Amino acid sequence: MINKHHNLDNKVAVITGGGGVLCGSMARELSKHGMNIAILNRTYEKAVKVADDIHADGGTAIAVQCDVTNRSSVEEADKAVIEEFGSIDVLINGAGGNHPQGSTTNEIFQKENLLNEEITSFYDLTTEGFDHVFRLNMIGSLIPSQVFSKRMIDRGGSIINISSMSAPSPMTKVPAYSAAKAAIDNFTQWMAVYFATTNIRVNAIAPGFFLTEQNQKLLTKEDGSFTERAEKIIEHTPMRRLGKPDDLHGTLLWLIDDEYSQFITGICVPVDGGFMAYSGV
């Protein structure tokens, strides 16, 4: 039996990237508190799967195909949400990701790698790779925020951006992703100030290390055991484990429920098992 947030009953949440592991879990959780959920995802079938799960549990949800980097696509999604639910109270900007051409093979530069075509060094990173990552994470949060926040101006609402442990301290190998997530933190603070007098609150959640479809090959081997990188992550996480999707639920509910957080805007909350607090020694 969950402690229901009755203040969320019949409100509407739009979740981009809602077909993914973390945001799909958020969608299912918010539905349990009586919210109507619009699951936006570039891959429509993934959105449908989450919507079907919500329906099976007695909740209300719609699946909407949407490319968050395309304004026309987001505007069409907005029309679909309003046609179905009539209003929008919460936006979760969960769509994001990385790109191979924005990542290096090794953590640290080695001169001999310049002659190895199988290794991507800093000098092999492409502007196309960086552009893809910035568009998906940063522009993919900007456009939905512009489109959906207009529905909140007269009624108030909450925008939640998804940051990363890589924002305050960039992870090795992923310079494009780290820079894009740092931009998300800055953008969250900017929007919070800009919308402060409209009763639209803007905050961010920075998940620690969670196992998702995007990082599964990076963190686990074919036999399911952890890779060397995953072992290093767990070693630097004081709670000595990876995060589980439901570890994010409490922070999410707190930030979107005005009864609990009506004077909170412009913050980024780490949910990381102590990763940010640990110096490594």
> What span, in angstroms and rounded, lies between the C-alpha atoms of 210 and 194?
32
81-117 burial by CB neighbour count: b if 16+ within 10 A, else e?
Answer: beeebeebbbbbbbbbbbbebbbbeeeeeeeebeeee
The answer to whether residue 177 is catalytic is: yes
Output the CA angle 199-203-209, nearest 5 degrees: 160
Going along the chain, which residue ranges are E strands?
12-16, 36-41, 60-65, 90-93, 157-162, 200-207, 268-271
251-262 burial by CB neighbour count: b if 16+ within 10 A, else e?
Answer: bbbebbbbeebe
What do you get for the CA distance between the two ends of the chain, in Å? 41
| Given 44, 123, 177, 278, the catalytic residue | 177
Any idea which residues carry the catalytic annotation? Answer: 177
